[in-house]
Amino acid sequence: MTVLRVRGTAVATGEPVDLYADGDRWTTDPVPSAELVPTGWLLPGLVDAHTHPGYAEIGDPLDHEALRGHLHQHVDSGVTLIRAPGLAGDPPDWFGTDPDVPRAVHAGPWIAQHGQFFDGWGRRATHAELPDLAAGQAARTGWAKLIADWLPGDEHIPVDVLRAIVERVHAVGGRVAVHSQQRAGGTAAVEAGVDSLEHGTWLDPGLLDRMAAQGTALTPTLSVLLDGVPRVTARPESEKRSWFLAGVAAHPGLVAVAAEAGVTLLAGTDSLPHGRIAAEVRALAGAGVPAHEALGAASWTARAYLGLPGLEPGAPADAVVYAADPRTDLDQLDHPLAVILRGRRIR
C-alpha cells in the first residue's frame, strides 16, 4: 500500500502540518518513498453529524445498495465521518468499516411514542418501556435516538421519562440524541440533560446557557429546513404550515445566539441528496455563526464531540485538502484537492 504524506496548514489551528499515513494512523515518522498529496489547507475530514442514508422514500426499509451509494456521495464531498441518529433498519457489518465508506456512529432505528413518527420506520414503545429500549440500543451502538415530539398538538415525551432514559443510557456508557421541533419538547429534553438536540426549532433561547454548561449539543439542520420554506409556503393554510414556517423563520437567529452562548454546534444535513455538508456550513455562516465555528461544526469540533482526534500523530488517517483557506471562501468546500480516508486517497 502506498504511504501518503500530507503537508500544509491546519485550518483549525493555523499551524503547519506534515504527517504520514502509517496504515490508518497519522505519524510524524518520515517515509522517504511516501506520495505527497497536493499541499494546501487541511481539515481532519468533514463530518455530517445528522444524516439518514440508505433509503429512497420515507418509510422504505433500509436498502444496502442505496446505503453504500449514499455513503460514497458523502466521501466524495470530503465527509470521512458520519453520525446517523436514526436509520431505516439495523445496518450491515460493513457500515462504517469498509475502506470506501466513512467512519460511522449510529443509533439504530429511531425510537418513538406510539402514534408518532413516520409509518414503517422506528420502534414504538410506551413511556414505561422507553428507558430499557433506549439503553439496549445504546449498549449495542453507543447512541439512542428518541423522537421527543412530532406534529403540532402531539404530546411530547415527559421530562421525567426523558430523565430516566438519559440515566439508563448513560449507565451503559451511551449517549442520547433527541429530535425536537416544539418548545415544550425541547425544554423537556434540555432539562433531562440529553447529549444532543436535533433540529431544535421553537427552542426557548433562555435554555442555551444551560445547554452550554451541561454539554448538550445542537444539530440545527438549518439548510434543509430553509430549503423547505418555498415548498411549504406553496401549501394551503394550515396549523402545520404555520408551525413550520414560524419555527424556521426564527431558527437562524437561535443558531447564532447558541454559538454566542458557547453551545456545541454540529453540522448535519438530515435528508436527500447526500453529500451536502458544504451547504450546511454555508447556512450556519449565513445565520451569523463565525466561519471558523461553522467549519468546526462540520470538522474538528464534531470529530472531537464524537471521540475522534484530528491532524495529530496517532489520529485516524483522514484529511481533506483545499487550495485556499475555506473560512475565507466557503465555496472551497465544494472543490477539495484531495480526500484521504483511512490512509488512502479517495479523491
* The total number of structural domains that make up the chain: 2
Distances from the Cα of 144 to the Cα of 128, 158, 159, 192, 323, angstroms: 16, 17, 17, 15, 39
pLDDT of residue 1: 75
204 and 319 share one domain: no
Contact in structure between 244 and 276 (CB atoms under 8 Å): no
298 and 191 share one domain: yes
Sign of torsion over alpha carbons 30, 32, 36, 40: positive
CATH code at 329? 2.30.40.10
281 and 329 share one domain: no
How many CA atoms lie within 13 Å of 328's alpha carbon, on the beta-carbon side?
Answer: 6
130 and 14 share one domain: no
pLDDT of residue 271: 86
Comparing C-alpha atoms, which of 227, 325, 324 is closest to residue 283?
A: 227
pLDDT of residue 266: 99
161 and 53 share one domain: yes
Q: What are phi and psi of 205, to 5 degrees?
A: -60, -20
How many angstroms separate the CA atoms of 278 and 217, rounded?
A: 20
Angle at 341 between CA 139 and CA 217, to 5 degrees: 45
How many angstroms separate the CA atoms of 94 and 184, rounded?
A: 39
Residue entry with cell 421525567: 160
CATH code at 245? 3.20.20.140
Q: What are phi and psi of 309, to 5 degrees?
A: -75, 175
DSSP letter at 109 equals B
66 and 183 share one domain: yes
Domain that holds residue 116: 45-305
Positions in the chain short of pLDDT 70 = none
232 and 125 share one domain: yes
264 and 333 share one domain: no
Distances from the Cα of 187 to the Cα of 77, 86, 164, 201, 222, angstroms: 35, 21, 16, 11, 19
Residue entry with cell 453529500: 275
92 and 146 share one domain: yes
